[in-house]
């Protein structure tokens, strides 16, 4: 359902909800009505009854991206309305960058497909219903991130970020303007030594949004297998009309969609090419230099090993003398 039962909303409430949640819905309706009016008296332009909704429900995703995905064409269209009008020359081509069903549900796999994409993204998690609380419909929720993903110990993102709930009802949690803890992305293990050296507690290894590092508004933890939710924080608005359970939920599916167009995809491809060149150059370094290399990025590790010429033993980068003998063939092209 897009919102609450129709009987519970009067015209004024509906208008307020639509203006806040889907600011470009009126333009979509306007285009639909104008198209229908232009077809009056012209049988060649009149649509058959089965296709009457097609101009309004614009296809956002390619058909080959729909099968089994968390994001459907209808919900992608709703989100595009929630984003507002595209800037002049802005390309909003949608592409699935990461899917747990195709790539595996793990933080390192997510990082490999997310890091380097040079545009805004939509992260969606579909969770199993909480049967013990009487839920029959699982929660599907995520976030719009308006900047490239940046792993580290600091929050990132801008005012274009928002939390997005697709089910059981559609809702967009926009920024409050009071805090800027939009998104947090901390990769595992490799940073532990750094925090120990500083005498600081290790930060949680999660993908999260809002709140603080001691308690996020929305958090994917345990290698992205579980989702935690809190009703409010100072970064994102709350929804007084619906209170979601704050119990831990199991994640059944996770997807990351990019909508930055060709330029964003080229930025990611160039990053991988550059890392590939760096991997090739590393083969000519002395053994002592390679031992001193501090590679604390899981995505970088994956690219170096995927090239087949190098592998890691602990934190040490070594050259692989015989690729076929080692069976290293884990390279995977970015979709």
pLDDT for 297 beyond 90: no
pLDDT digits (tens, 9 = 90+) for 259-269: 888 888 888 88
Range name among 97-101, 150-154, 198-202, 299-303 with the lowest pLDDT average = 299-303
Residue among 160, 151, 161, 113 at smallest CA distance from 258: 113
Q: Are 306 and 326 a contacting pair, CB within 8 Å?
A: no
Q: What is the mean pLDDT of residues 129-138?
A: 90
Task: Give the model's confidence band at 275: pLDDT under 50 very low, under 70 low, under 90 confident, else very high.
Answer: confident
Q: Write the pLDDT tens digit of every residue in 212-236.
A: 998 999 999 999 999 999 999 999 9
What pLDDT is recorded for position 279? 73
C-alpha 101: how far from chain center: 15
Place of tokens 């491809």: 269
Percent of residues, the chain, with pLDDT higher than 90: 39
What is the rounded average pLDDT of the residues 105-124? 94
* pLDDT at position 330: 39
Query: Per-residue pLDDT averaged across 76-105, rounded?
Result: 82
DSSP 129-181: --GGGT--S--EEEEEE-S----SSS-B--TT-EEEEEESS-EEE-B-SS---
More confident residue, 262 or 313: 262
Q: Residue 248 and residue 195: Cα distance in Å, rounded? A: 27
Which residues pair with residue 220 across a beta bridge?
Answer: 207, 227
**134-148 mean pLDDT:** 94
Alpha carbon 270 to its chain centroid, in Å, reads: 21
For residue 202, what are its two tokens?
Answer: 């290790």
Q: Side-chain half-sphere of 250: how many Cα atoms within 13 Å?
A: 5
* More confident: 293 or 239: 239
Place of tokens 């992608």: 76
In this structure, what are the phi and psi dihedrals at residue 239, rounded to the nearest 5 degrees?
Answer: -120, 100
- Our CA angle for 254, 257, 259, nearest 5°, is 165
Residue 91 or residue 169, greater confidence: 169
Give the per-residue pLDDT at 198. Answer: 61
Coil, strand or helix: which one is 291? helix
Rounded average pLDDT over 170-184: 96
**What are the respective helix, strand and coil percentages of the chain, to the nearest 5?**
35, 20, 50
State how far the alpha carbon of 100 is from the alpha carbons of 61, 250, 267, in Å. Answer: 18, 13, 23
- At 291, the pLDDT band (50, 70, 90 cuts) reads very low
Rounded to an integer, what distance in angstroms lies between the CA atom of residue 17 and that of residue 239? Answer: 12
pLDDT in tens, 19-64: 777 776 666 666 656 666 666 666 565 554 444 444 444 555 655 5
pLDDT of res. 145: 97
Give the pLDDT score at 202.
Answer: 77
26-30, 184-188, 198-202: lowest mean pLDDT where?
26-30
- List, in sequence order, every beta strand (DSSP E) within 12-120: 95-99
CA 179 centroid distance within chain: 21
Q: Is 132 exposed, middle or buried (0-12, 13-18, 19+ CB in 10 A)?
A: exposed
Strand 249-258 versus strand 140-145 pairing type: unpaired
Mean local confidence (pLDDT), 86-90: 63
Closest Cα partner for 334 from 288, 291, 294, 303? Answer: 303
pTM of the model: 0.70
Cis peptide bond prior to 168, omega within 30° of 0: yes
Residue 197 is predicted with a pLDDT of 58
């Amino acid at each position: 359902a897009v919102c609450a039962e129709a009987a519970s909303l009067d015209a004024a409430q509906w208008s307020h909800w639509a203006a806040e949640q889907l600011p470009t819905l009126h333009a979509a309706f306007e285009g639909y009505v104008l198209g229908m009016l232009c077809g009056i008296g012209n049988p060649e332009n009149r649509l058959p009854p089965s296709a009457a909704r097609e101009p309004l429900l614009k296809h956002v995703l390619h058909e080959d991206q729909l099968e089994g995905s968390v994001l459907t064409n209808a919900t992608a269209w709703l989100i595009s309305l929630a984003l507002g009008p595209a800037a002049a020359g802005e390309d909003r081509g949608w592409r699935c960058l990461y899917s747990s069903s195709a790539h595996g549900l793990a933080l390192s796999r997510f990082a490999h497909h997310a890091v380097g994409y040079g545009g805004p993204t939509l992260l969606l998690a579909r969770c199993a219903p909480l049967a013990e609380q009487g839920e029959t419909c699982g929660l599907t929720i995520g976030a719009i991130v308006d900047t490239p993903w940046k792993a580290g110990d600091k929050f990132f993102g801008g005012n274009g970020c928002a939390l997005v709930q697709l089910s059981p009802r559609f809702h967009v949690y926009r920024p409050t303007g009071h805090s800027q803890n939009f998104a947090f992305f901390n990769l595992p293990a490799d940073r532990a030594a750094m925090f120990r050296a500083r005498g600081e507690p290790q930060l949680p290894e999660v993908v999260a949004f809002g709140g603080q590092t001691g308690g996020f508004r929305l958090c994917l933890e345990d290698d992205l297998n579980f989702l935690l939710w809190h009703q409010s924080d100072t970064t994102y608005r709350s929804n007084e009309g619906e209170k979601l359970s704050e119990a831990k939920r199991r994640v059944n599916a996770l997807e990351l969609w990019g909508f930055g167009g060709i330029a964003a995809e080229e930025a990611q491809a160039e990053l991988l090419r550059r890392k590939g060149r760096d991997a090739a150059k590393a083969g000519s370094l002395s053994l002592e230099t390679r031992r001193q290399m501090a590679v604390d990025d899981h995505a970088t590790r994956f690219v170096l090993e995927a090239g087949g010429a190098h592998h890691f033993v602990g934190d040490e980068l070594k050259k692989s003398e015989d690729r076929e003998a080692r069976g290293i063939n884990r390279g995977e092209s970015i979709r």
